Amino acid sequence: MLSFSYTKSRSSRFLPFHFPPFLPSFFHSVSLPLPLNPPKSSHLRLLHLPLRIRSIDAAQPYDYESQLKSRHLKSQSLKIAIIGFGNFGQFLAKTLSRQGHTLLTYSRTNYSDVAKKLGVTFYSNPHDLCESHPEVLILCTSILSTEKVLKSFPFQRLKRSTLFVDVLSVKEFAKNILLKYLPAEFDILCTHPMFGPESGKTSWLGLPFVYDKVRIGNEEERMNRCEKFLDIFAREGCRMVEMSCAEHDRYAAGSQFVTHTMGRVLEKFGLESSPINTKGYETLLDLVENTAGDSFELYYGLFMYNQNAMEQLERLDMAFEAIKKELFGKLHQVYRRQLFGTADGLEERPKIQKLLHNGAPVEPSTDTTEQERS
Amino acid sequence: MLSFSYTKSRSSRFLPFHFPPFLPSFFHSVSLPLPLNPPKSSHLRLLHLPLRIRSIDAAQPYDYESQLKSRHLKSQSLKIAIIGFGNFGQFLAKTLSRQGHTLLTYSRTNYSDVAKKLGVTFYSNPHDLCESHPEVLILCTSILSTEKVLKSFPFQRLKRSTLFVDVLSVKEFAKNILLKYLPAEFDILCTHPMFGPESGKTSWLGLPFVYDKVRIGNEEERMNRCEKFLDIFAREGCRMVEMSCAEHDRYAAGSQFVTHTMGRVLEKFGLESSPINTKGYETLLDLVENTAGDSFELYYGLFMYNQNAMEQLERLDMAFEAIKKELFGKLHQVYRRQLFGTADGLEERPKIQKLLHNGAPVEPSTDTTEQERS
């Protein structure tokens, strides 16, 4: 798999990066610096890409090139089944279909119209789908329903060498149930595309794709198939991160779960646009907008099926309590000073009471004068 | 004051908008639609500005134009004192100085070196500054120290018609103490530039500037001076919002104070960059970065001196509690079902206990199958 890397300016990590699908990757093998973080918007990141293709077969006649391209695409194409054709399954199907893979889809809900529009085959019976012998099977079920689906899945109708892929947001759980329910002959690739229909709407460039090759047979064909599948995301420009399921869950509890929690708290709070939004407030409004699109079931899944989530929730709780304590502690300090610290303590009393009730001024508790304010 | 408006696409409000300072405002009087929200990044907003200047005096000889410009700038220039020359005072001074105003600054701390670099006069004695008779005096002291400063300020050395401006983040409090301590002859303009050295680093374009003409004498000269002062911000492209101090505090408690609280909670939580940051998580990291630059004194001021802040803190607390209740309620429900709902309840017990301790899988509590996940 040919690739080139980009530099992440903040941490100067080198991360794999791949050309978009319209250029088959064997056409180029260059290394170029890509500043990921400096412009804060990911849209701007694109604008700042210092793309510099060093060699292109411009001298080749057009026909030869297009033949080569089509032959390459054909050799890269996979027969992929998507089990669970809801929001996320459909989102994946769009890109997979555009890349020229053959797609077979199944869902309990009848999504045959959606499938028709996307130009993919829809099966209302999983046995029929399995008898079509897909090479790869992606489980796009929700966290909560995955085990139920696996319990009754007609594995016996598939070829014994099928590659099973899951895309759940919790990985240790996914790994455990796939190992528990899948016949030993099947390959297992646990993945987490860390984006969805909202954040990956226009492009997947730079978005993290986490994977763990849990069980890939060591025949060349099986290893190649796994690489071909990973290449789907690499070609779209995803940041490919190979990481154990356990490690993923540790990081995700501290980042993804906390992000969802903040979004849900602010949604419950009832955050609304005001005529005087600051820049920071607008990022919070965006967060709520993005979180609101996800189901509570997903959020509950992130909490329930990641053993690190409870600890992070507790830490968040403690952080909130600590901030409140700092505020109230300072308030108490000022109150005490006014009650006991001055000669005319009694005279000051109504003043502090007014403060406690309607935020009227009190004496400064410190003697800072030229603070930043904004 | 000539201005043109832009349309805010989300709410289709019309808001005043002004040309940047390099073009004196009398050169143009156009109305143009400016989409504020569609591109989420403020940098992109700039790129999307459909700027269309309909008439420009291109036919005028260069000398005449530059003469006109310099005469105009001179007539617009003010003699402005900045009391409290800390972080925010210096931030304002840069732009005021660039616009050609005469600046006199005072601080208890000796900032004469900074003043020299900015090309402005620094006074170590407020009496000397007042004797120089500034037309406008901006209080750039912290919320906590403003009253202390006012109590001992040598107002008697100023001209009786001086315009007093404050830039505090809480406005009802500012209005009350200015009315309480300032001699009746002085004009009072309460303002809140809703940005600072971080968010207003590169440009003030589109950033909200809130103001309330608390007490402006009705002589033409006094009214003009107030407009000239407001024009400083209008020329930089600020979104000029005229709003009562009380109304400002209601909005700001629900937006600015909540934003600061979230930033501080996440800072206390210890949010850190991970190898698998989602887009949403990166906005939270940015929020913490921006909040960390502000002092705790400012945050405490937003809480203590805005009578609406306590209510918002309580609402935030309730929202967090509600989310936790939803999560734990669902957990309890699953636990009960496993304890009592199945025939082999006792057999299920170790399973749910495992879940409660390390997040292992349990039966789905609903039968949703194809949820979105991300």
Q: CA A354 to CA B250: how far, in whole Å?
A: 18
- pLDDT, tens digit, 9 for 90 and up, residues B139-176: 999 998 999 999 999 999 999 999 999 999 999 999 99
Identify residue A277 by its one-letter amino acid code.
N
Long-range CB pairs of A126-132, under 8 A, 24+ apart, other chains included: A126/A83, A126/A153, A126/A154, A127/A154, A127/A157, A129/A81, A129/A83, A129/A104, A129/A105, A130/A81, A130/A154, A130/A155, A130/A157, A130/A158, A131/A157, A132/A79, A132/A81, A132/A104
- Please tell me the distance from the alpha carbon of residue B148 to that of residue B130, in angstroms, as a whole number: 18
B-facing residues of A in 26-65 (CB < 8 A) are 39-44
How confident is the model at residue A105, as a pLDDT?
Answer: 98
In chain B, whose CA is at the least distance from the CA of A365? Answer: B144
> Which pLDDT does position A341 carry in this prediction?
65
The pLDDT score that the predictor gives to residue A32 is 38
Buried b (16+ CB within 10 A) or exposed e, A20-46: ebeebbebeeeeeebebeebbebbebb
Asked if the Cβ–Cβ distance from A296 to B11 is below 8 Å, we say: no
Q: What does pTM read for this prediction?
A: 0.72
Distance between A28 CA and the closest CA of chain B, angstroms: 27
Tens-level pLDDT at each residue, chain A (374 residues):
333 333 333 333 334 444 444 444 443 333 334 443 444 444 444 444 445 444 444 444 456 666 666 556 557 799 999 999 999 999 999 999 999 999 999 999 999 999 999 999 999 999 999 999 999 999 999 998 999 999 999 999 999 999 999 999 999 999 999 999 999 999 999 999 999 988 899 999 999 999 999 999 999 999 999 999 999 999 999 999 999 999 999 999 999 999 999 999 999 999 999 999 988 899 999 999 888 778 888 999 999 999 999 999 999 999 999 999 999 988 888 777 777 765 444 444 454 455 444 444 444 333 344 444 43
CA dihedral A74, A80, A85, A88 (to 10 degrees): -70
Can you give the pLDDT at residue A66?
A: 62
Is B145 within 8 Å of chain A by CB?
yes
Chain A residues inside the 8 Å CB shell of B287: 280, 283-284
What's chain B's average pLDDT? 80
How confident is the model at residue A6, as a pLDDT? 36
A354–B contact, CB cutoff 8 A: no
Q: What pLDDT is attached to residue B109?
A: 95
Nearest to B298 among A280, A284, A371 (CB): A371
pLDDT value, residue A63: 63
Q: Which of A99, A371, A346 is nearest to A229 (CA)?
A: A99
**Count of C-beta atoms within a 10 Å radius of residue A341:** 12
Q: Is A371 in contact with B143 (Cβ distance < 8 A)?
A: yes
* B33 has a pLDDT exceeding 80: no
Q: Say whether pLDDT at B25 is over 90.
A: no
Whether A122 contacts A151, CB under 8 Å: no
Q: What is the 3-state secondary structure (H, E, C) of A8-59?
A: CCCCCCEEEECCCCCCCHHHCCCCCCCCCCCCCCHHHHHHCCCCCCCCCCCC
Question: To which H or E segment does residue B240 belong?
Answer: strand B239-242
Residue/partner pairs of A109-118 with CB below 8 Å, 24 or more apart: A109/A85, A109/B369, A109/B370, A111/A85, A111/A86, A114/A85, A114/A90, A115/A85, A118/A90, A118/A93, A118/A94
Query: Which pLDDT tens digit goes with each residue over B35-45?
Result: 434 444 444 44
Question: Mean pLDDT, to the nearest integer, of B179-203?
Answer: 94
What integer pLDDT is reported at residue B100 of this predicted model?
Answer: 95
Q: Which of A11, A256, A277 comes nearest B281 by C-beta?
A: A256
Amino acid at A85: F
**pLDDT, position A48:** 46
Task: Say whether pLDDT at B47 is over 60.
Answer: no
C-beta of residue B139 within 8 angstroms of C-beta of residue B153: no
